[in-house]
A = this chain, B = another copy of it.
Amino acid sequence: MSSKSKKQVEVIFSPALFEYRQIKENYIIVIADILRATTSICTAFKWGVRSMIPVRTVQEARDYKEKGYIVAGERIEETFEFADFGNGALEFMNDKIKDKDIVHSTTNGTVAITMAKQAEPNEILIGAFSNITSLSDYLLKKEENVLIFCSGWKNSFCIEDTVFAGALLERIIEKGGYINHNDSAYSSIDLWSKTKDKLMEQMQSKASHMNRLKKYKMDDVFPYTYTFDTCNVVPKLYNDRLKDALKEEK
């Protein structure tokens, strides 16, 4: 219990703040890009994808495509015409992805994954409302510090990622014996507690990214995005690929 009680938590609100994080040793990074990458990744694993290869640039995705890989992804406000799938969770509810390896590149989420990888934490996990219980159960068995890395929107703060961070912290801090010294972690919990009773309604009125997605007719995924525990998976980065840790580490 004494080592457990020294575990710390922290929330990073934007890729631009990642280098200023306080936790830099013995830690697990949880990536959150609720709209839409991390919700979609959880969904793909629920629907049986074997692995997902997150890549940062459209050019990397194109190179994989030319080698014969299936490519999923989007750039909002830009084209990504050669992709086989977009980045909406509903698209991954599809038997065609079963046992496949899919290359995945998105506006914000895969950028954060790439940055996290360069930092070489002990583990990199994918979090969303869709796998929050599976993820928190997984974390509660760990002894490492936890850093929740919100992808944001092109380096801007996004409320939906932060509220998710608060929801996850609420589930792990007390039970897991974590210490919270971090202003952003306290604030995430406060923002979660202010919005949780009417989560989707609150996000509709406060999350600018939802208006952006609505404009591009990418709003079909909203109710699903804010539904808890649709996916009993914990996507985790093994070298350059995401796989479901619940299967890999059974």
A: residues with CB less than 8 A from B are: 13-14, 16-17, 20, 22, 154-159, 162, 181-184, 186-187, 190-191, 193-195, 205-209, 211
Please name all residues of chain B whose beta carbon is closer than 8 Å to the beta carbon of A159 when the two chains form the complex. 183, 186-187
Cβ-closest chain B residue relative to A154:
B20
Please name all residues of chain B whose beta carbon is closer than 8 Å to the beta carbon of A157 when the two chains form the complex. 13, 17, 183-184, 187
Please name all residues of chain B whose beta carbon is closer than 8 Å to the beta carbon of A206 when the two chains form the complex. 183, 186-187
* Known A20-B156, A22-B156; contact A182-B208, beta-carbon cutoff 8 A: yes
A187 to B203, CA, bound (A): 11
Please name all residues of chain B whose beta carbon is closer than 8 Å to the beta carbon of A195 when the two chains form the complex. 190
Residue of B14, B17, B187 touching A187 (CB-CB under 8 A): B187
A20 to B155, CA, bound (A): 7
* Closest-CB distance, A219 to chain B (whole angstroms): 17
Please name all residues of chain B whose beta carbon is closer than 8 Å to the beta carbon of A193 when the two chains form the complex. 194
A183 to B154, Cβ gap below 8 A? Answer: no
6 closest A-B pairs (Cβ-Cβ)?
A186-B206, A159-B183, A20-B155, A190-B194, A157-B184, A16-B16
Please name all residues of chain B whose beta carbon is closer than 8 Å to the beta carbon of A194 when the two chains form the complex. 190, 193-194
A250 to B192, CA, bound (A): 45
A183 to B155, Cβ gap below 8 A? Answer: no
B181 to A191, Cβ gap below 8 A? Answer: no
* Closest-CB distance, A14 to chain B (whole angstroms): 6
A144 to B206, CA, bound (A): 22
B187 to A162, Cβ gap below 8 A? Answer: yes
A158 to B156, CA, bound (A): 16
Max chain B CB contacts within 10 Å: which of A183, A191, A206? Answer: A183
Please name all residues of chain B whose beta carbon is closer than 8 Å to the beta carbon of A211 when the two chains form the complex. 181
A219 to B207, CA, bound (A): 36
Residue of B14, B183, B209 touching A17 (CB-CB under 8 A): B14
Please name all residues of chain B whose beta carbon is closer than 8 Å to the beta carbon of A186 when the two chains form the complex. 159, 205-206
Beyond the given A13-B157, A181-B208, A186-B205, could you list 10 further A-B residue pairs with CB under 8 A, ordered by the A residue number?
A16-B16, A17-B155, A156-B183, A159-B183, A183-B206, A187-B187, A187-B206, A190-B194, A190-B195, A193-B194
